[in-house]
Structure 1
Amino acid sequence: MRLLVDALPADFGGIRTYAEHLLAAWGATDDEVHVVLPADSDLPLPPSVTAHRVPLTGPRSPARAAAQSRHIPRLVRDLRPDVVLATLPSTTMRRLDVPLVVVVHDLRHDLLPGQFSRAQRLLRRVSYGRGYAIADAHLAISQRTLTDLHTVHPSTRATPSAVVHHGADHVADWPGGDRSGPAVTFAHQVNKNADLVHDGWHLLGPEAPRLVVLGKPYVSDEEYAAHLGAASVVVLASDFEGFGLPVVEAMRIGVPVVIGPEPAMLEVAGGHAFEMTAWTPTEVARATRAALAADARTIEMATAHASTFTWAKTVRETRALLGSVL
C-alpha cells in the first residue's frame, strides 16, 4: 500500500503523540508511507517514512488549512497514493482522486461549546464538517467518539467507519511502578477540571500526597514520562475525553488511575481504574483514597489490561479500514 498521511495538524499534545507513534509503528510494515508536515516540524519519523515539508505562513490555523487544500491534492497527483489518511477531520477542503480516511478524536466543540471561543467553534464547524462530508471512511479513536459523531452528525452514519484505539506500548521504557512520588493531574485544557481536583485534595487532609499539575506550561516528553513514572496516583477528573491516553499510559507502568464517570475513559480503562461516581470533591477524595490503597494484584491486572493497547495493533486495524475503501 502507498499511503499519504496528513500530519500538518500534529504540532503538539495528543494529536502529536498519536501521529508520532502511529508512524513509528507503520515504519515496521512493507507499506510505502509518505507524510506531509509543516516545514518547521520536529516530529520524529522512522527512516522508512518519507517526509514532505511545506511552509506555513501567517496565523497557524488558517495557514495550515490553506496548505492542506493546496499541497495534499498536489501530492496526490505527484505520488499517486492508494489512500490518504488525515490525522484530523480538518484536512484538505478539496475532494481527492483517491480515497480519504479521516481520524476523529472527539466532538467536544459540538457537545461542550462553552469550552471554546467563537472563532474556534466556527473554524471547526467549517473544516471538520467538510472533512466528514468528503471522507470515504471515518476512523474514531473510541466508541464514545463514534457514537457522538453519528449522533451529532447523523449523515455520517452512511459512511464506513471503525473504532481503533491508541497504543500505549510507547511507555515500555519509561520509569515507573515505585509509586513513591506525588500525585499527578492535568490542567492544559478546561475540561481537565484541575480546580475540582484541588478541592478534592483539601478533603484528603494530611494523608494526601503532594499534587503536581501538568499542562501549564506544557512539559517536555521526558519530563512527562518522569512525572508519570514516579507518580503515586494519576487523577483524571476530566468531564470530556476522546480517548484519555494517560489512563492506559499510567496503568501500563503500574500507576493507579482515578477517573471521572466519563464514557471514553471508562471504555479504555476497562474496569481497572478507580472511578468517581460524580464530578464532586468528595468523589475525588474517595476514589483517590482507594487508588492509594491499591494492592499489587489490582495494579498487575490494570497493567495487563493496558498492555493490550499496542501501536502495532492500531496500525493493523487502521490498515484494515484503509483497505476496505480501496
Structure 2
Amino acid sequence: MPSADRVTVLEASGVGPGGITRVLTELARHWPAGHQLRIVAAPADWEVPASAAAVSVLSAQSGGRAATITGAAAALRRATAAGSRVLSLSPSLAIRGSRAPVTTIMHDLAFRLWPHGLSPAVLQYRRLSYRTAVDRSARLLCVSARTRHDLLGVYGVGYHRTAVWHPGSDLSTAPGRSPVTGEKPYLLVAGHAAHKGVELAIEAAGLLTPYEIVVLTGGKPDLWGPPRPGVRFLGRLTDAEYAAAVAGAAAVLMPSHFEGYGLPAAEALRLGTPVVISPDPALLEATAGAAVRMTTWTAEALADAVRAAVAGPRPATAGAGRSWQEATDHLVELLGPVATPAGG
C-alpha cells in the first residue's frame, strides 16, 4: 500500500463547466507515476484521460448542489480514514468531511469583489464555502498573485498560509479545422459568465465590421440573448474543437470585468493567436505582457485594442504560461508531506 504522502484525494464537488474542468482533466493526465490520485465528486459526465496513470474515481456528482455536497463529504470521510492528503479544486463545504489536512485551490474572489449576475443562493453558498475553505484548509493555493492579494485583503489570510500556483496553458489536443465557418475572419470571446465582459464585445461588433464576434458560452448559448448581426454564439465544444477555434481566430478577446487568472488568454498565446485583455491585473499576470491591453472597459477601447493586436505579427507559440506537466509537478511539490491543519 502506498504511503499517505503518495496518495492524494482530490475533492471536485465544485467543478462544473469552465476552466476548472480543464484543470481537473490536465492534472489527472499529468499526475506523476507512483503517486495515486483518487477523485471524489467528479462531474457526472467526466472521464479519466486515457493516458492517466494511477488515477481512480471514488464517487461522482449526483443530484443538485445539496446532494452533491452531502455525498462528497461522506466519500471524503471514507477516503481519508487511513490518512493521505486532500486537495480541493475549489472552495466547498464538502471538506468538512475530511479526516486529513486539506489544501484548497482559490481561483478568485469575484463573488465578493464583482458579484454582478450571481443569484442570492449562489452568493450565500460561496460565502459559506469560502469561509469554510479559509477556516479549515491547512494551505490555500492561489492561481494568481492577484487572488493571493485579494485573500489577504478580504479574509486577512497571511502569506504564510498561501502560495501562488499558476495553471498550465498548453492544450493536449492539437488543433484541427476550426468549427467556426464563414467568410469573415472571427474574434473569439470567452463568455460563459457575466464577469467576462461579453456585452462590451457585442457592443464593439459595430466598430469591428470586418470581423465576426464569436462567443464561447460554455453550453449556455442563451446567456447573452438572441443572435444578432455580426455576433454568433457557440455551445459546448470538445477539446479539439476548442483548440481549433482558438488557433483559427484573428484574435482572442477577454474584456473581463474580473478574473482570477485568465486561462483562455494564456492558452491562445501558446497557440500563437493574438490576445486582447481588459485592464484586469490577473489577465496581465497570466499573459506576461504578451497581450494587447485595453485602456478602459468600453467598446471603443476594445475595438482600438483589437486593431492594434491584429495589425502586429502573431505572437510566437509558447509565448505565455507554462506546460501542464510543469504545473502539475509544482502542485505536487506544494502539497508536500501530510501536515497538521493550520486552523483559522
Same fold (TM over 0.5): yes
What does residue range 105-124 of structure 1 map to in structure 2 within 5 Å? 105-124=107-126
Partner residue, 1:285: 303
Residue equivalent to 2:3: none
Task: Determine if contact 2:171/2:243 at 8 Å carries over to the other structure.
Answer: no
Which of 118, 140, 146 is the equivalent residue of 1:138? 140
| CA separation of 1:67 and 1:39: change in aligned 2, threshold 3 A | same
How far has the Cα of 1:34 moved from its partner?
Answer: 1.1
User: Once the 2 structures are TM-superposed, how far is the Cα of residue 87 of structure 1 from its aligned partner?
Assistant: 0.6
Kept after mapping to 1: 8 A contact 2:18/2:192: no
Superposed CA RMSD in Å reads 2.3
Residue 281 of structure 2 is matched in structure 1 by: 263
- Higher mean alpha-carbon deviation, 280-289 vs 32-41, is at 32-41
More helix by share: 1
Out of 33, 44, 51, which is 2:48 matched to? 44
Matched, 1:73 2:77: yes
Deviation at 1:194, TM superposition (A): 1.5
Which of 192, 196, 209 does residue 196 from structure 2 map onto?
192
Q: In 2, distance between residues paired with 1:65 and 1:30?
A: 29
Pick which of 14-23 and 223-232 moved more. Answer: 223-232
Counterpart check, 1:56 vs 2:62? yes
Q: Whole-Å Cα distance in 2 between the matches of residues 39 and 277 of structure 1?
A: 38
Letter in 2 for 1:23: A
Verify the 8 A CA contact 2:251 2:276 in the aligned structure 1. yes
Q: Which of these residues, 208, 211, 214, is aligned with residue 213 of structure 2?
A: 211
Q: Measure the CA separation in 1 of the matches of 2:62 and 2:120.
A: 23
Candidates 8, 13, 16, aligned match of 1:3? 8
Identity value in percent: 31
Q: Deviations over 1:95-126 (max 9, x none)?
A: 64321100111110011123311111111111
Question: What CA distance in whole angstroms lies between the structure 2 residues aligned with 1:176 and 1:88?
Answer: 33
CA offset digits 1:255-299 (Å, max 9, x no partner): 100000001101011110011010111111110001111225xx1
Which amino acid letter does the alignment assign opposite residue 66 of structure 1?
T
Could you tell me which runs of 5 or more consecutive residues in structure 2 were left unpaired when the two chains were aligned. Answer: 1-5, 179-183, 222-234, 340-344
The offset of 1:153, in angstroms, is 0.5
TM-score (normalised: structure 2): 0.84
CA shift at 1:188, angstroms? 1.7
Q: Normalization by structure 1: what TM-score? A: 0.88
Question: In 2, Cα distance between the equivalents of 1:176 and 1:248?
Answer: 21
